[in-house]
A and B are shown apart, each in its own frame.
Chain A
Amino acid sequence: MSEDFLRIAHVSKRFGGVTAVDDADLAIARGEFFSLLGPSGCGKTTLLRMIAGFEYPSAGDIFVEGARITDLPPNQRPSNMVFQSYAIFPHLNVFDNIAYGLRKAKLKRAELRKRVEDALAMIKLDGFGARRADQLSGGQRQRVALARALVQRPKVLLLDEPLGALDKRLREAMQIELRQLQKSVGITFVFVTHDQEEALALSDRVAVMSGGRILQIASPRELYEAPNCREVADFIGEINFFDGVVRARDGERATLDAGAAGTMTVAAPDAAGTKLLLALRPEKISLSAAGGRVAGTVAAAAYLGERSHYNIRIAGRDAPVSVAAQNTAAQAGHKVGEAVHLDWSDDAVLILRS
């Protein structure tokens, strides 16, 4: 039951000849923080707008708690939205912005005032009721938009890149606030973003979208550690790809020949001769002067504070191998031109079938 709190059943949206969303099929649980992640134009905002009721699906249906809402206009849906531009009404003050939807509900004056003031307290803007929209900072406008939606007590809160317009420091602070808020109100959040770090930091689960299709739906850890295709692996974080061929089998395990990257033994069911795409995250590779699997030279080095980033050129491979090393010691890392050895554990290798 709770698995199917918000169900998007084979929903597609076409604009003329362009397919913006292609057969999206997913279920979101009650109280879940669910993100739609993808580059601009991947269809994530169109999917969100279909849940809100601003776009009508070309095919498929949307259900909330088992009730079909596909044909309901936006004003009758159990969802509220935080817009990318925040859409704070410029002709109303903060109090009237937050009270906008409550006036419709014909609450008693005292009840209305209390609900708005509680909402202002929740977003830590007590006493800001009389301010006009143009007297607020970006972060304050974002919080007013959030309060205006939450005061409606929606079953689902839809957020369209709500942190996109904020600067980095404020964005990180708001991420933490947003996550705490979601836990305390217990409302299901559907969050659209193109920022993969943001999606990983905030979400219970993430749907990665590209070209209108949903590529993978998984927890942040699973997306990063076990992407199901090349596109997801490439989009989430940084990664090195290798081509490999199965040479021999030994029960559950297969021995692979990965060309310049050498041979490795991994758990894979594929028969000898099968071609596989292998992937390795930069931080899973260790560098040392002494020895390892593969020898190479440092082509580029960047010091990033808590870690350093290297591009290592190895024989028999055009693209340099990307390596990330934690700067645990204060001494200098490897220099450009230095000879180094790369090493990694066989278990760190991801196998992608494409």
Chain B
Amino acid sequence: MRRSRIGLSLYAVAYLAFLYVPVLFLPLFSFNNSVFIAFPLNGFTTQWYGQMLADSAMLHALRNSLEVGAITAAVSTLLGLLAAKALTRYRVPGGGAVLAFTSLPLFIPDIVLGISLLILLNLAGVPLSLVTVIAGHCLICIPFAITVLMSRLDGFDKSLEEASLDLGENGWMTFWRVTFPLALPGIISSLLLTFIVSFDEFLIAYFLAGSEATLPIYIWGQLRFPYKLPAVLALGALILVASAILVVIAEWVRNHGIKDGKRAVVGA
């Protein structure tokens, strides 16, 4: 009994270490005073952060990624919300098939999706740019948005929306006064999730970006030049900190956000 508990604890610690120790190498080596990523550490420096800030190509790629991620998140969450509302609230003919088809991009390998989109855009004569990357990213992000938002919309009593209509509001105001505030935690989750999926997506961006580069593409290109690697680590460390802050915010919204409408229908 006791032995197996110790075994499980060791397993849990090893598991967490395997997950997070590699990630911690990023900030560690970003402050290491050496071009080589190896132990022992040489000494503390912030020069790589300076180098990163001076690298205009890298900052340009970061900007591109932030732009693509933000627009993708907004577009796919908006479209996902409309689809989720339709699928959970109305009798959609062939609703199951619609859901299956919109989820399909999740199961198609990104490399296949990237090549097919490239062929399609070439045939249609559409020039490659960040816009085409956004279109490709929306394709893979919308299923995530629909899944997150459907579970949120299914999670509250649909008679809440009927009550709003019954009390004199029209469909649009009902959406703003009832559906939107209740779905807000789901909308925020969806925005964060789709942003992250887009931000670190490589394959589709690689095929569709044309002469522009998103951050993953830029970093991939830099791996050939060892002396540039520490600056990439510095950027990675900053992104890590930003993600940690985002996750904390997301969790806070989830816990302190609007309480479920479904809970305690009968609470005596």
- Name A residues whose Cβ lies closer than 8 Å to a Cβ of B: 52-54, 73-75, 79-81, 83-87, 89-91, 100-101, 104-105, 132, 134, 136-139, 141, 148-149, 152, 165-167, 170
Could you tell me the dominant secondary structure of chain B's interface residues? loop
Number of interface residues of B (CB under 8 A): 28
> Contact string, B132-171, partner A, CB cutoff 8 A, digits 1/0?
0000000000000000000000001101101111111110
CB distance from A284 to the nearest CB of B (A): 38
Does residue B258 face the partner (Cβ distance < 8 Å to A)? yes
* A85 lies within 8 A of B165 (CB): no
A343 to chain B minimum Cβ distance, whole angstroms, is 46
Q: Determine the residue in chain B with the shortest Cβ distance to A154.
A: B166
Shortest beta-carbon distance from B91 to chain A in Å: 9
B176-220 interface bits toward A, Cβ cutoff 8 Å, 1 = contact, 0 = none: 011001100000000000000000000000000000000000000
Instruction: For A75, give its contact among B165, B258, B260, B266 (CB under 8 Å).
Output: B165
Q: Contact partner of B164 among A90, A100, A170, CB < 8 A?
A: A100
Q: Residues of B contacting A90 with CB < 8 Å?
A: 156, 160, 182, 258-261, 263
Bound CA–CA A134/B258 (angstroms): 11
B265 CB within 8 Å of chain A: yes
Q: Which residues 251-268 in B have Cβ within 8 Å of A in the complex?
A: 258-261, 263-268
Q: Are B267 and A87 in contact (CB under 8 A)?
A: no
Residues of A within 8 A of B181 (CB): 91
Minimum CB–CB distance from B209 to chain A (whole Å) comes to 42
A141 and B267 contact, CB distance less than 8 A:
yes
B266 touches A138 (CB 8 A): yes
Closest 5 pairs (CB-CB, A-B): A101-B167, A87-B163, A87-B159, A90-B261, A74-B165
Residues of B within 8 A of A80 (CB): 166-167
Residues of B within 8 A of A (CB): 156-157, 159-160, 162-170, 173, 177-178, 181-182, 258-261, 263-268
Known: A138-B267, A170-B268. A73 touches B165 (CB 8 A): yes
Chain A residues within 8 Å of B266, by CB: 138, 165-166
The residues of A that contact B260 with a CB separation of less than 8 Å are: 90
Of the candidates B167, B259, B267, the one whose C-beta lies within 8 Å of that of A148 is: B167
B162, A85: Cβ atoms under 8 Å?
no
Once the chains are docked, how many angstroms separate the CA of A163 from the CA of B170?
28
Cβ-closest chain A residue relative to B173: A104
Complex Cα spacing A132 to B259, Å:
10
| Residue from B162, B173, B259 whose CB has the most chain A CB atoms within 10 Å | B162
Cα A81 to Cα B166 in complex, Å, equals 7
Known: A89-B261, A149-B166. 17 other contacts (CB 8 A): A53-B166, A73-B165, A75-B165, A75-B168, A79-B166, A81-B163, A83-B159, A84-B159, A86-B265, A87-B160, A91-B182, A100-B177, A105-B168, A134-B263, A148-B167, A165-B265, A166-B266
By a CB distance below 8 angstroms, the chain B residues around A52 are 162, 166
Closest to B261 in A: A90
Known: A80-B167, A104-B168, A137-B268. A87 touches B263 (CB 8 A): no
Interface-central residue, B157, B167, B182, B267, by most chain A CB under 10 Å:
B167
Residue of A nearest to B157 (CB): A85
Contacts of A73 in B (CB 8 A): 165, 170
Chain B residue nearest to A84 (CB atoms) is B159
| Distance, CA A141 to CA B265, complexed state (A) | 9
B156: A residues at CB distance < 8 A: 90
Distance A79 CA – B168 CA, assembled complex (angstroms): 10
Q: Which residues of A contact B162 (CB under 8 A)?
A: 52, 54, 74, 81, 83, 87
Expressed in whole angstroms, the Cα–Cα distance for A281 and B168 within the complex equals 47
A74–B166 Cα distance when bound, in Å, is: 5
Task: Name the one of B157, B166, B170, B268 contacting A138, with C-beta atoms under 8 angstroms.
Answer: B268
Do the beta carbons of A83 and B163 come within 8 Å of each other? yes
A45 to chain B, nearest CB (A): 11
Q: Is the CB of A75 within 8 A of B170?
A: yes
Inside 8 A of A165's CB, which chain B residues have their CB? 265-266
* A89 vs B181: C-alpha distance when bound (angstroms): 10
Chain B residues closer than 8 Å to A86, beta-carbon distance: 265
A128 to chain B, nearest CB (A): 15
**Cβ-closest chain A residue relative to B165:** A74
Q: Which residue of B lies closest to A105 (CB)?
A: B168
A85-B157, A91-B181, A104-B168 known; A136+B163 contact, CB < 8 A: no
Give the shortest distance, in Å, between B264 (CB) and chain A (any CB).
6
Which residues of the other chain, B, contact A89 by a CB distance below 8 angstroms? 160, 163-164, 178, 261
A261 to B22, CA, bound (A): 90
CA distance A63 to B206 in the complex (A): 64
CB pair B268–A85 under 8 Å, yes or no, is: no
- Contact (Cβ within 8 A) B159 A85: yes
Contact in complex: A152, B265 (CB < 8 Å): no
What's the least CB distance linking A58 to chain B, in Å? 14
How many Å lie between the Cα of A350 and that of B264 in the bound state? 46
A/B interface sample: 27 pairs, CB < 8 A: A52-B166, A53-B166, A73-B165, A73-B170, A74-B162, A74-B165, A80-B166, A80-B167, A81-B163, A81-B166, A85-B157, A85-B265, A87-B160, A87-B162, A89-B178, A90-B182, A90-B263, A91-B181, A91-B258, A100-B164, A104-B167, A134-B263, A136-B267, A141-B267, A152-B168, A165-B265, A170-B268
B181 to A: closest C-beta gap in Å = 5
